[in-house]
Amino acid sequence: MSDYAIAVPAVTNKAAKQFSEACFKLSPFEIEKVITDNGSEIKGEFDSLLSDAHITHLWTYLSTPKMNAVCERFSRTIQEQFVDYHEELLFTDLATFNEPLAD
């Protein structure tokens, strides 16, 4: 389904940091900027990771999904074409859920 999506156990600061570290390793190019919403999972460890890596962190305005339309559409597509059909694995076996998601 995607090289750019994985499921994480919870939307936490630690999960955001781990996901970002994986993205940095897998990216075929140097990441210079990251744009996120203003969720609390983006504060702390994740923000420190970006700062330490000299990556500019940009935020969208509150309640403005159009500012990040590509990401919002990507999330919706994954939900509609994958998650809705494999939801039971999401709650019972996250590793198995991620295998076909990455294909």
Q: What is the pLDDT of residues 62-75, one digit of tens each?
A: 777 777 788 788 87
pLDDT at 1: 42
Q: Is 57 helix (H, G, I), strand (E, B) or coil?
A: strand
Residues 31 and 53 in one domain: yes
Q: Can you give the pTM of this predicted structure?
A: 0.60
Residues 55 and 14 in one domain: yes
Residue 81 lies in a domain: yes
Greater confidence (44 vs 77) lies with 77
Residue 2 lies in a domain: no
Task: Please give the backbone phi and psi of residue 36, each rounded to the nearest 5 degrees, phi first.
Answer: -135, 170
* C-alpha to C-alpha distance for 22 and 25, rounded to whole angstroms: 5
Say if residue 92's pLDDT is above 80.
yes
Residues 14 and 54 in one domain: yes
Q: How many structural domains does the chain have?
A: 2
Q: How many CB atoms lie within 10 A of CB 28?
A: 5
- Are the C-beta atoms of residues 34 and 56 closer than 8 Å to each other? yes
Say if residue 39's pLDDT is above 80.
no
